[in-house]
A and B are shown apart, each in its own frame.
Chain A
Amino acid sequence: MSAHEDWRRVRAIVWKDLTTEGRSKAGFNSVAALGVTILVLFGFALGPDAQALRDAAAGALWLAVLFAGVLAFNRSYQVELESGALEPLLLYPGARWTIFVGKLFANLIFVGLMLVIVTLVGIVLFQVTIPPSWPKLIAVLALGTIGLVSLGTFYAAMASRSRAREVLLPLLLFPMLVPVLLAAMQASKVLLNGDMMHEAGAWMSMLMAYDVIFVVAPLLAFEHVIEV
Chain B
Amino acid sequence: MTQSVDTNPDLPKPGYWPWYGIFCFLFLIGSQASGLLLSVPDRDMGHLQKIMYVHVPAAWIMSLTFVVVLYYSFRYLWKQQENDDLVAASAAEVGAAFCGLTLVLGMIWGKPTWGVWWTWDARLTSTLVLFLIMVSYLALRAFIDDPHRRAQWSAAVGILGAINVPIVYMSVKWWRTLHQVQSMPSTVDPMYVINLRLNAFAFLFLMIYFIRRRYEAARFERAAELAVQAAALGRR
Q: Which of A10-18, A36-44, A50-58, A220-228 contacts B (4 or more CB under 8 A)?
A: A220-228
CB atoms of A178 and B163 under 8 A apart: no
CB atoms of A175 and B149 under 8 A apart: no
CB distance from B137 to the nearest CB of A (A): 8
Query: Bound complex: CA of A206 vs CA of B157, how far in Å?
Result: 22
Number of A-B contacts (CB under 8 A): 78
CB atoms of A213 and B159 under 8 A apart: no
CB atoms of A225 and B156 under 8 A apart: yes
Q: Which residues in A have their C-beta under 8 angstroms from that of B155? A: 224
Q: Which residues in B have their C-beta under 8 angstroms from that of A174? A: 132
Query: Bound complex: CA of A162 vs CA of B157, how far in Å?
Result: 14
Q: Which residues in B have their C-beta under 8 angstroms from that of A218? A: 160
CB atoms of B149 and A172 under 8 A apart: no
- Name A139-194 residues within 8 Å CB distance of B: 154-155, 158, 162-164, 168, 171-172, 174-176, 178-179, 182-183, 186
**Chain A residue at minimal CB-CB distance from B76:** A224
Q: Which residues in A have their C-beta under 8 angstroms from that of B159? A: 217, 221
CB atoms of B171 and A182 under 8 A apart: yes
Query: Bound complex: CA of A48 vs CA of B98, how far in Å?
Result: 44
Q: Which of B85-93, B139-147, B186-194, B217-225 contacts A (4 or more CB under 8 A)?
A: B139-147
Knowing A158-B153, A179-B168, say if A217 contacts B140 (CB, 8 Å): no
Q: Which residues in A have their C-beta under 8 angstroms from that of B152? A: 224-225, 227-228
A67 lies within 8 A of chain B by Cβ: no
CB atoms of A182 and B132 under 8 A apart: no
CB atoms of A224 and B156 under 8 A apart: yes
A202 lies within 8 A of chain B by Cβ: yes
A28 lies within 8 A of chain B by Cβ: no
CB distance from A89 to the nearest CB of B (A): 18
B163: contacting residue among A158, A202, A213, CB under 8 A = A213
- Name B9-57 residues within 8 Å CB distance of A: none
CB atoms of B156 and A182 under 8 A apart: no
Knowing A176-B160, A224-B152, say if A158 contacts B172 (CB, 8 Å): no
CB distance from A220 to the nearest CB of B (A): 9
CB distance from A187 to the nearest CB of B (A): 11
B106 lies within 8 A of chain A by Cβ: no
Closest 3 CB pairs of A and B: A179-B171, A175-B132, A221-B156
20 contacts between A and B (CB under 8 A): A158-B156, A162-B143, A163-B145, A168-B139, A171-B135, A171-B136, A172-B140, A175-B129, A178-B168, A179-B171, A179-B172, A182-B171, A206-B174, A213-B167, A217-B160, A217-B163, A225-B152, A225-B153, A228-B148, A228-B152
